[in-house]
Structure 1
């Protein structure tokens, strides 16, 4: 199992990236750069590439609606080149709140668009001449433009023709698609003990259609990391994060994270969290997050307990454990987990 961490959209990115450099020395394998509607991910990924030597650098995530398929492919190829083949392209549909509210484009056909983008990216990296029909007509047909467009292939030579593509997904149809076409899966708010009951059938259906050329599906998931006999209260620090997603990342009736909490068995709690959050009562929403939720999605407690949590994530199929190390010496925490996983 690999160890990864995430550069979130809050705080000074240069300070956060300096920490990544120290974590790389401690054995960190991957770093994921968030975007949402903060700083763009590729700029920070390029900076990371210049500051690091070994760690893989992934976007988590680039929304599929914010860039053309060709630009997504070019961006990934450029990052792969400057990092020496260390880029991972993390894609996701995001949600209507961000896509229509921030980017100002319709949130439509997320599954079809995702499938087309993945196919176009892979063909671009193989330096094929690109044509496409569907949501992304390439070249733009006569009547929709000047009629002067012509099929092209990427000018430069990508370092790799098979840059890994990971997809962030939660719903059955999207998870099924992920298991079919992606190199990896980026689930959010992952509880290993509940993963099989929530996603097992969708993953199995997608894998049944999966090309053997893709190999096994990588799974990236995890949470807060703190080791000690008196660190359990730190779990409460994840409550505002959980409440933000379950309560505020989407409208009522169109919140994928709220739907996930309900599928986990927290129906009443999910409704309460959303009601409170959308009423502006964020602290009360955080307090309403079930203690079990905060416990099971994190790795916080005495050493023996954290080892048990590591095993639970491994048994759930996680291949890259994402951790947010909390404490005076984050690098030491990563070293400790790396030693346990060896």
Structure 2
């Protein structure tokens, strides 16, 4: 099992980040991943890091599909792969409706179809063996619909990629998205994952693998784990309770909360419904208190350093390829890497 580092870059001076990345590379961390919501983008930081690193893989976790056209993403992936000397890993995901529609001004319609078509176009463009054409329900390349000039023709990138098959990871949580990941992805960036519930959580992935005739090893599972280092496990749990209460309990009008669904998959349907009810009533403290200790211990890393390292070791017998830690704690990274 490999170790990865997720960077929640918030726009601070790059000098604050570089020592962490440098240390991660020197101790053997396998990959560094950028994140993206509606502040700093996931791409720019990796372009900078490509110039100041030598070995570590660089990935996006995730580039939001509705934010860019498929061919723009292909151009970005080819460029970052070239700048990094073949170290780029493309992580894509749908994001959530309120960001897609509220920030990007794009409809959150037919998300599975959108992902499938998007990945197909990106792969065609990166493969660079033919002009890109796609006639789908969501995307038409070239575009010949209403408002078009009528002069469009298929185009092939004028950049020859360093690699024609850049690894493509999908950030997926709900069962249908996970099935699609098993069918078309090279990797799965999992949001809530635990070795104790691996059979249930990977069942949709295996369904997708079967549909495409692929083996389990064809999709690399890479969960992203929140870390809360503290004096005691309980103190670490308390740091995480508000986050997980929001993830599990939040639901918008007509919306579906896939984190809630995954909690139910893992056997926490009762607590998940309690959390949701408290959130709906505005009882935040009660919602925080309702997050089970066992859930936090399974899907996150709370507590002092020895407890965190012990928990990381429990993942070694799972199907996970890379355990990605959302942390800037270099002492923790060193201890985790040494343990692996």
Aligned 8 A contact 2:6 2:327 in 1: no
- In the other structure, the counterpart of 2:62 is 61
- In the other structure, the counterpart of 1:216 is 218
Q: Is 1:162 aligned to residue 162 of structure 2?
A: no
Aligned 8 A contact 2:195 2:315 in 1: yes
Displacement of 1:16: 3.5
Displacement of 1:32: 1.4
The DSSP-based 3-state class of the residue aligned with 2:158 is coil
RMSD: 2.7
Displacement of 1:37: 1.4
Displacement of 1:231: 5.0
The DSSP-based 3-state class of the residue aligned with 1:12 is coil
TM-score, length of structure 2 as denominator length = 0.89
Q: Is 1:340 aligned to residue 336 of structure 2?
A: no
Counterpart mapping for 1:264-283 below 5 A: 264-278=266-280, 281-283=283-285
Q: 1:264 to 1:137 in 2, by over 3 A?
A: same
Q: 1:11 to 1:70 in 2, by over 3 A?
A: closer
Aligned residues: 337
- In the other structure, the counterpart of 1:257 is 259
- In the other structure, the counterpart of 2:32 is 31
CA distance in 2, matches of 1:13, 1:111: 37
Structure 1: gaps (5+ residues): none
TM-score, length of structure 1 as denominator length = 0.88
Aligned 8 A contact 1:70 1:121 in 2: yes
Counterpart mapping for 1:126-205 below 5 A: 126-127=127-128, 128-134=130-136, 135-141=138-144, 143-197=146-200, 199-205=201-207
CA distance in 2, matches of 1:39, 1:214: 34
Structure 2: gaps (5+ residues): none
- In the other structure, the counterpart of 1:295 is 297
Q: 1:250 to 1:33 in 2, by over 3 A?
A: farther
Write the deviation string for residues 70-129 of structure 1: whole angstroms up to 9, x where unpaired: 011111111111111111111111221211122111111211121122121111112120
The DSSP-based 3-state class of the residue aligned with 2:314 is helix
CA distance in 2, matches of 1:142, 1:100: 23
CA distance in 1, matches of 2:103, 2:273: 26
Q: 1:270 to 1:12 in 2, by over 3 A?
A: farther
Which deviates the most, 138-147 or 38-47? 138-147
